[in-house]
Structure 1
Amino acid sequence: MDAFLFRLKAAQFDLIEACCGIERAAEKCGYGKTTVGRWKDRNDPTVMPIPAVVALEADCGRAFVTAVMAAANGRRITDPEDEKAKQAGILSAHADLMQRMASLAGDVATAYADGVVSPTEAHIIDRGASEAERSLSDFRNSIAVVKAAGGERGGLKIVGEGD
């Protein structure tokens, strides 16, 4: 399998998980459990048809597969949840990003500890990278909201100054 297919299969796995597993995903998209199981199996080259992708992404509210297809064509999808970014603010989004990056670094270090990265370890790293990528996107959305608003006043105060 080429790199794109590995990313696509990882996205299918994540999508099915986000839809609460094989049985529920099968109900939501109208395909059999065996078929959905093949889509979720990272070692099976079967890919989801577009109507199933659309149905499942609508169900869970996340564009796992669509994002991979867009990236393969040099594009990026945007998240319409700018309101979420406004509420989180830059500091919160940055803290989440740093936590996910630290976790990813730990996964990579663990995988390389014995000098060999197994396919299972590569899947763990890929999942961490996917979470970090989403967190980075949220962070960038927070920055964009601040730019559009003309800046943001931090809620932090220095203790002892003016109190």
Structure 2
Amino acid sequence: MNTTTAATPTPATRRPGAPWWAAGAVSVAAATAANLVLLGLGHLVGASMEHPDGAGGIAAVEAGGVALMSAVPLAAGFTAAVLLSLLWKGFLRTGQIVGTVLAAASTVMPFFAGTDLATEAVLALMHVVLVPAVWLGLGAVRRRALS
């Protein structure tokens, strides 16, 4: 009697974290969506959502500008951190720290805009949204890279 059994295939082991492209896309999409929600809430609470522009006029904070200013800097920084991590995996942690500190430090910028307090608060919260987006997004890539 033959007691030999066929080898049962083992399921592929799932690596922790996320691929860079997925983590980046989720981070950018989540931060952009959150900032658009904040824009809507700003209008609901009566914030003017306007600020002085550099030419002496008034500029409105609009959805397109919010989406652009949320997505592009985050995507650029995320991409730079991932590319630099190809040279040194430790750069993902450095990118987490530097990106988080820069996002947190930028929260004071709206308070120098010279607009109403409600608009300043909403704009500052839009900067705060980037903190978890940077930390969690690069953290997911880091977990995958170190596994």
TM-score range, shorter chain: 0.3 to 0.5
Higher relative contact order (CA closer than 8 Å, sequence separation 6+): 2
What TM-score do you get using the length of structure 2 for normalisation?
0.38
Larger Rg: 2
More strand by share: 2
What TM-score do you get using the length of structure 1 for normalisation?
0.35
